[in-house]
Copies of this chain bind each other. A is one copy, B any other.
C-alpha cells in the first residue's frame, strides 16, 4: 500500500473515493491533523450539545455514536472504524445531537475547524469529498433503520457482523474471515435493540449454526454466505469502489474535474 506515507489519514475514504484524491490533496489532508491522542477505555470524545471547534479523525480503534435518554441510558446508534472522520458533521452543525465515545484503545487525530474552513475555501473538490463522507454515515444510518425494523434478532446481529466485516476489510483491517473488536455483548445488545440475555441466546444460535463465532470481541466468520443470507446483506449502501460510488465527475483523470463542485 502506497498509503503508508499518510500514517494518520491514509484510511480516510479508503475503498470508497480515496483514489479520486490527488497526491496534493492527500498531503493537504494529512497536514490538517494538528495533534493526535491515544484514548483508553470507554471515554467520551464529544458530548451532545458541546460546541465543536475541531473535528476528530479515528486513526486506530473503534468509536460509537450514542444517544442518552432522559433516564441516562445510553443507546448506540452508530459504530465507527479507522479512517472515519467521526464528527466532521460538527463542522456544519456546530453542535451535535449525540455523544461520541471511544471504546477500547483508540488513536484519534484532531483537526481545528479554522484549518478545515481554510482548506475548503480553496479546495472545492476536497470540500465535496468531506460532504460525501458525512453522507456515507447517513446511508449507514438508513440501513440500520432497515435492519432494526425489518429483521429479527438473529438477522440484526448477522447484519451488524457483516457490515463490520466489510467495513474493516475496506480499510485493510481484519483477516479474510475474522477480526477483533473491543465490543462486548452489552454493546451488541444496544446496537441490535435486544436484551443482553437474548444476545447470548442469539450468539449461541449463530455459533451452533456454523455461521459466526463471537468470543470476547474476537469474531470469526465460519460461513460468510450463510451470514449474508441471514442478514439479507447487500453492501451497496457502503458505497465501495465498483458499487454506487461514482467517480466520473471526481476522477483526477477527468477533464471537467477542476470545474467540479
Whether A44 is near chain B, meaning CB under 8 Å from some CB there, is no
A149 at the B interface (CB under 8 A): yes
Can you name the residue of chain B whose Cβ is closest to the Cβ of A51?
A: B246
Could you say which of B49, B69, B135, B245 contacts A150, with CB atoms under 8 Å apart?
A: B69
Chain A residues in contact with chain B, CB under 8 A?
48-49, 51, 65, 67, 69-70, 75, 77-78, 89, 92-98, 117, 120-121, 124, 127-128, 131-132, 134-135, 137-139, 141-146, 148-150, 190-193, 232, 234, 236-237, 239, 244-246, 248-249, 260-261
4 tightest A-B CB contacts, nearest first? A149-B193, A141-B141, A94-B246, A148-B148
- CB atoms of A135 and B239 under 8 A apart: no
In the assembled complex, the Cα of A163 lies from the Cα of B45 at a distance in Å of 29
B149 touches A248 (CB 8 A): no
Contact B142 A67 (CB under 8 A): yes
When all copies of this chain in the complex are counted, the total is 2
- In the complex, besides A92-B128, A93-B132, A97-B139, 7 extra interface pairs with C-beta distance below 8 angstroms are A67-B146, A78-B142, A95-B244, A97-B236, A98-B142, A141-B144, A149-B191
Given the interface pairs A97-B239, A128-B92, A148-B193, the reply to whether A67 lies near B244 with Cβ below 8 Å is: no
Q: How far is the CA of A75 from the CA of B149 in the complex (A)?
A: 9
Chain B: minimal CB distance from A131 (Å): 5
Let me know if B124 and A121 touch, CB within 8 A.
yes
List B contacts of A134 (CB < 8 A): 131, 134-135, 138
Do residues B75 and A150 form an inter-chain contact, with CB atoms below 8 A? Answer: yes
- Using known A-B contacts A49-B244, A92-B128, determine if residue A70 contacts B234 with beta carbons closer than 8 Å: yes
Which residues of chain B are within 8 angstroms of A48 by Cβ–Cβ distance?
A: 236
Least CB distance, A64 to chain B, in whole angstroms? 12
**A260-B117 Cα distance, complex, nearest whole Å:** 7
A124-B122 Cα distance, complex, nearest whole Å = 11
How far apart are the CA atoms of A127 and B92 in the complex, in Å? 10
